[in-house]
Amino acid sequence: MSEPGRPWRLRAGDTVALVAPAGPVPADRLAIAVSALESWGLRVERYGTVHARHPRLGYLAGTDAERAGDFRDAWLDPRVAAVLAARGGYGCQRMLDLLDWVELRSAGPKLFAGSSDTTALHDAVGVHLGLPTLFCPMPATSYFDAAAAEHLRTTLLDRPGPRELRCPGASTLVPGRATGRTVGGNLSLLAAGIGTREQRQARGAIAVLEDIGEDLYRLDRMLTQLSRSGWFDGVAGIALGSWPGCGRPESVRDLLLERLGPLGVPMVWQLGFGHQAASLTIPLGVPAELDADAATLLVPA
């Protein structure tokens, strides 16, 4: 089972649960996900929603009650060491109020892993259960390529020790070094979570941000909304991931620098996580060190 204080540290033979807290999972992608996880020596338990679709809202993997029920059952199952979102899409926010977080806390430390729409669940697990999580490529998506899978595997199963995250295309936007716990995830979900009880703030933290398929003006609006709400107040540093489908990379870069540069904190561009090939796995809710000069993020592993 997972190590105390490091719920993402698994061992061969551990059982992981695949759930669908958001969108429906393509059958071919599910088969690839199960095969990959089993090849690591893990036992895979598939929950019903990975095969389901909402009867009327086809963008959801089953009803809100069904998706929340799968998450609850997987989390409370003493055999399960980790709960992995098979894919994102949309729907995690809809199920948060159906979960009994006091009940889930009784299960003790456990890992949740996912990205994109599951940013809402990362915040909820962090706020209600006080646990770190893994922001990672999800196994039933096209972003779960060989390099991304290997980085997740080594994060889960290799011997513990600090890990320096870097990417060949990363560069410095604002120089300097910063330390703080990691928070954040998908920009649209962070903006959509403003005012909810699960929203974590970036004060004293290293904010990690990424998104996909958003027009430049929409990124501008979300960054402005987060800024005006106070989300960035006291942030220690910022690590930016990938932004595919959001416009020309240089335009996105210029916007992020224009909106976030005045904060005056170290900031790195394109650190290699998010919706991209060879995506890195980043622990959230853990102490980290951002070296913007070297364009690296040092995290526990």
Per-residue pLDDT at 7? 58
Q: Which residue has the tokens 């364009």?
A: 295
> 288: how many CB neighbours lie within 10 A of its CB?
26
Residue 1 located in a structural domain: no
Domain that holds residue 117: 15-157
Per-residue pLDDT at 300? 86
Q: Say how many domains are in the chain.
A: 2
Per-residue pLDDT at 160? 75
Beta bridge partners of 290: 178, 297
In this structure, the answer to whether residues 143 and 193 fall within a common structural domain is no
Residue 9 located in a structural domain: no
Instruction: Name the catalytic one among 151, 214, 275, 279.
Output: 275
Q: What is the model's pTM?
A: 0.96
In this structure, the answer to whether residues 110 and 135 fall within a common structural domain is yes
Residue 4 located in a structural domain: no
Domain containing 33 — which CATH number? 3.40.50.10740
Distance CA 188, CA 222 (A): 7
Sign for the CA dihedral angle at 19, 23, 24, 28 comes to negative
Domain containing 170 — which CATH number? 3.50.30.60
Instruction: Name the catalytic one among 115, 116, 188, 279.
Output: 116
Residue 253 located in a structural domain: yes
Residue that is last in its domain, among 123, 157, 191 = 157
CB 140 within 8 A of CB 29: yes
Extract the tokens encoding 50.
């990975």
In this structure, the answer to whether residues 153 and 20 fall within a common structural domain is yes
Instruction: Name the catalytic one among 2, 66, 122, 210.
Output: 210
Residue 10 located in a structural domain: no
User: How do residues 225-243 score in pLDDT, each as one tens digit?
Assistant: 999 999 999 999 999 999 9
Is 116 a known active-site residue?
A: yes
**What are the C-alpha distances in Å from 253 to residues 216, 228, 267?**
10, 20, 11
In this structure, the answer to whether residues 173 and 284 fall within a common structural domain is yes
**What are the C-alpha distances in Å from 131 to residues 35, 78, 141, 231?**
28, 17, 25, 20
Q: pLDDT per position in the chain (301 positions), as tens?
A: 444 445 568 999 999 999 999 999 999 999 999 999 999 999 999 999 999 999 999 999 999 999 999 999 999 999 999 999 999 999 999 999 999 999 999 999 999 999 999 999 999 999 999 999 999 999 999 999 999 999 999 999 987 789 999 999 999 999 999 999 999 999 999 999 999 999 999 999 999 999 999 999 999 999 999 999 999 999 999 999 999 999 999 999 999 999 999 999 999 999 999 999 999 999 999 999 999 999 999 998 6
